[in-house]
Amino acid sequence: MSQSHQQPALPKCPGCEEPPAAGDLFCGVCGYDLSAVPARPDDRPTMAITVPPAAPAAGAVRWPAAEETDSSDVPAPVVRPADVPGTDSGGRPLTEPDAVSGRGAGSPPEPVRAGGPEAAAVQVRHDDRADPGGAEASGDFALAAPDPRAAEHAAAPAAAPAPGAKVCVACRSGRVDPDGYCENCGHAQPRERDHMEQELDAVAAVSDRGLRHHRNEDSFAVSSTALPDGSPAVVAIVCDGVSSASRPDEASAAAASAANEALLESLPRGTHPQTAMHEAIVAASEAVNALAQEPAGAREHDAHRHQNAPACTLVGAIMAGGLLIVGWVGDSRVYWVPEDRTRPTARLTEDDSWAAQMVAAGLMNEAEAYADERAHAITGWLGADAYELEPHTAAFKPDRPGLVVVCTDGLWNYAESAEEMAAAVPADAREQPLRAARMLVGHALDGGGHDNVTVALLPFAVRPQGAGSACDTV
């Protein structure tokens, strides 16, 4: 549809960030269609529902059962464990989900006022991504041309680049010259943060800008360390910047780095991993809060949105001593996919979102809640305007090998249920986690790529009987 009104002047091109000349309809540097960039919507008010955090108990090297580490007065939401044995952050066994609410039978519902859905007292923050089908509704920039990463290329493959040379993300065969262009197909390469990959021995992660966002506001950190008894501990942290906030890309990067550093400091000291996860989320929150204390001049580069506190969500997983610990604030998720695909899969986290609260309170079923335009409004996040922090943690002890999938909603929007996620995970994901992570990102891009996409994969191996350590006493 043509637009008769005057487009707002842009301080810089969304494609190459160079300032366009006055009145230009196309960027003189990269050719970006400037008329396709809609004006940013007004930011919406934000509030959080939380209570003051409690000081986490310090764990001993022999790992007694972790004390209540949630900062709320009620247990953390009981997750959907299927047949994965585990305990919630209150130390109680995880039970089968209730048929009505989808929550464990022993878990109280989130506090909601009496009455129908319209009367529910759900305080939320809108992330401007409620409608993944429309760029205008989400405030994202619609691309003027198809993204080269999603295009099919029929050209004959070029000669393989030399070992160590950077390969084009579009044709997957050409060498990238020093100016950042493919010598085979000529495509300009994305900024470093637009597509990130990392692989360690026991974990791999991939993050991509997607096809509709003008930058990648996700971030991740993966690492490994050793426990006091010498056994390994593997960590994956995934953060998703809140698009309606200022500098969401900086918030997610700060949170991922701070949480990872906190875990690498506490786990080798013998801190119980569930307590360590709680402390890491608190450290991540403090890092994001610190961004809001920077002078106003530091935010002038983000002229398209109202200035408010940087914010992000966080989800993380730790594999240590035969345990799987997950922690989260927001709507990013952890899934369990057993190696034997005939066995049940599971989602191990419960979203901090409007839809999840409606389902938990029994006011809507999942189909109704997630069809509502308010479904993806988050009720928990890290940031100075969250006021209080309510980290969720849960501990599991899987009795069979499998794969842990840690991801943002940019992926699970295209594979929401545990069964759908398991179907999207390649059969050889435990043997080739980096390749599998790339394929999962590709699954989201093939589905439309309406959001940034980040996923970390942790292959979980069950230790043979008799190979236990002092860390098994949970």
Give yes or no for a contact between 220 and 207, defined as CB atoms under 8 angstroms apart: yes
What's the residue count for the chain? 474
3-state secondary structure of 118: helix
Asked whether 29 and 10 are in contact (CB, 8 A), the reply is no
Secondary structure string (H, E, C) spanning 184-218? CCCCECCCHHHEEEEECCCCEEEEECCCCCCCCCE
356: region left, alpha or beta (phi > 0 left; psi from -120 to 50 alpha)? alpha
Q: What is the average pLDDT value for the chain, to the nearest integer?
A: 76
Segment 430-465, tens digit of pLDDT: 999 999 999 999 999 999 999 999 999 999 998 765
pLDDT band at residue 375 under the 50/70/90 scheme: confident
Q: What percent of the chain has pLDDT over 70?
A: 65
pLDDT tens per residue, range 237-269? 999 999 889 999 999 999 999 999 999 999 999
The pair of structure tokens assigned to 121 is 């007292």
Residue 345 has pLDDT above 60, yes or no: yes
Three-state DSSP state, 46: coil
85, amino acid identity: P
Q: Residue 234: is its pLDDT beyond 70?
A: yes
Could you tell me which residue, 51 or 30, shows the higher pLDDT? 30
Alpha helix segments (H runs only) across 203-272 = 248-266
pLDDT at 470: 35
Looking at residue 26, its pLDDT comes to 74
Over residues 303-319, mean pLDDT: 83
Tell me the CA distances in angstroms from 192 to 80, 169, 197, 203, 310, one per residue in order: 36, 12, 10, 21, 21
| pLDDT tens sequence across 77-132 | 434 444 456 666 556 665 544 433 344 434 444 433 334 444 344 456 666 544 44
Instruction: Write out the two tokens for 296.
Output: 């106003």
* Assessment of whether the complete model's pTM goes beyond 0.75: no
